[in-house]
Amino acid sequence: MDASQQSSCKIEDRLHLSKQAFTSIIEMRKDATTTLASLHDIILRLDEIYKEFIKECREKMFIFGLDSLQFQSKMLNIEYNDMNRLFLSINNRMYCEYYKLFKIISNYICENATEAKILDIVKTESQIPQYLDLEPFKEYDFELIQKVHDGILTLLVSLHSYLVQKDYDLKNHQTKNKTGLNIDNFVTTFQFNNVVMREKIHLFINYLDFFHKLHSKYLKRFTTKAHLMHSHVKHDIKLDDAIKKQDKQLISQMKEEHENSIILELKDSLDDDTNTNSSVSIFGGSEAEEQKYIDSVEDIGIEVEMIAPPSPTNEINDTLLENVPVPVPVEMVETEIQPPSETNVNE
């Protein structure tokens, strides 16, 4: 691998690292915007609470007591506005530096590249809003900043591809020079232009890496300040804790009501089982078994009277039980009752 190929591999690696660095910047910026949004919500809730107090209490002494709450909300508004202004300044500066670098690369390509393909790419990517230095706090959408950054990477990749093609052409010219053609000065100039273009690409990547370094530092410091302010506000004002406490109480109340309803359902089911068991026969079995017993007794010609259920004091009516004949098995009746013999008849 010659020097030009090594340099090409190095450029590709650097472009890949630049893309990863900007991804980290996106994550840091997202963290900063989330923290600012949380602070803004707290300030709005404080304003609402103050307005509710004012509506309910219009006496002078009550208004005097609410002046501290008004100043607390006002102080948070001042801090938030300062933080938001600083964030807009960082955001504005990011667009400024990427926009200017994009224009520098575009102008270089238009002046030094001759291929129509790469020139068309420049025209396509150049459709972005102009940056105005006299508006340092103008808010630019972050999607627009991403578009400009992606445009820079696209131009650098296209320029690198153009350089690779030029290195291939240089090798062809060197081969022809070795055949005896007097094109030494031409080859030297061609090689010089390729070296300059390669170094220009490295210069543009150095610019981009430096911007990544600066923007990461700005966003890290800003995010640290925003988190510090957010922690102070959360320590002083515990609105979320109060809401969570109310939610826990509501959940506990719903849980108790649910448990009570389960207990009532179990009680009703137990009452139903008790009513069902009360229909069991006094013989200790089911009604079907009781009827089967009565039928077996009636088959041998014995009348059975229903036995009254035991009294609550477990005393049994002895006279009633004495009147109930004891059922005798059929086999015993047939063996004990014998027909009269002839001798007995004669006598």
Task: Give residue-wise pLDDT tens across range 197-224.
Answer: 999 999 999 999 999 999 999 999 999 9
3-state SS, residue 113:
coil
Dist. CA 273–CA 275, nearest whole Å: 6
**Does residue 325 have a pLDDT over 60?**
no
Under the banding of pLDDT at 50, 70 and 90, the label for residue 96 is very high
Under the banding of pLDDT at 50, 70 and 90, the label for residue 66 is confident
- For residues 339 and 274, the model is more confident at 274
**Does residue 342 have a pLDDT over 50?**
no
Report phi then psi at 188, rounded to 5: -65, -45
Structure tokens at 124: 């396509």
Structure tokens at 260: 């009570």
At 213 the pLDDT is 97
**Does residue 236 have a pLDDT over 50?**
yes
At 249 the pLDDT is 55
Report phi then psi at 109, rounded to 5: -65, -45
- For residues 210 and 300, the model is more confident at 210
At 5 the pLDDT is 63
CB within 8 Å of 176: residues ≥ 6 apart: 183
At 254 the pLDDT is 55
**Does residue 242 have a pLDDT over 70?**
no
**Does residue 317 have a pLDDT over 70?**
no
Dist. CA 38–CA 233, nearest whole Å: 10
Under the banding of pLDDT at 50, 70 and 90, the label for residue 252 is low
At 125 the pLDDT is 84
Q: Do residues 12 and 160 make contact, with C-beta atoms less than 8 angstroms apart?
A: yes
pTM of the model: 0.65
**Each residue's pLDDT tens digit, 121-166:** 888 888 899 999 999 999 999 999 999 999 999 999 999 999 999 9
Under the banding of pLDDT at 50, 70 and 90, the label for residue 332 is very low
Dist. CA 22–CA 26, nearest whole Å: 6
Rounded to an integer, the average pLDDT of 55-81 is: 84
Under the banding of pLDDT at 50, 70 and 90, the label for residue 226 is very high
Q: Do residues 211 and 20 make contact, with C-beta atoms less than 8 angstroms apart?
A: no
Percent of the chain topping pLDDT 70: 67
**Each residue's pLDDT tens digit, 184-194:** 999 999 999 99
Under the banding of pLDDT at 50, 70 and 90, the label for residue 346 is very low
Rounded to an integer, the average pLDDT of 74-84 is: 94
At 25 the pLDDT is 96
Structure tokens at 174: 């060197």
The lowest-confidence range among 26-35, 54-63, 247-256 is 247-256
Report phi then psi at 307, rounded to 5: -85, 130
287 closest CA partner among 277, 296, 297, 301: 277
At 198 the pLDDT is 95
**What are the percentages of helix, strand and coil residues in the chain, rounded to 5?**
80, 0, 20
**Each residue's pLDDT tens digit, 155-176:** 999 999 999 999 999 999 999 9
Averaged pLDDT score across all residues of the chain: 79
Rounded to an integer, the average pLDDT of 276-288 is: 50
- For residues 240 and 315, the model is more confident at 240
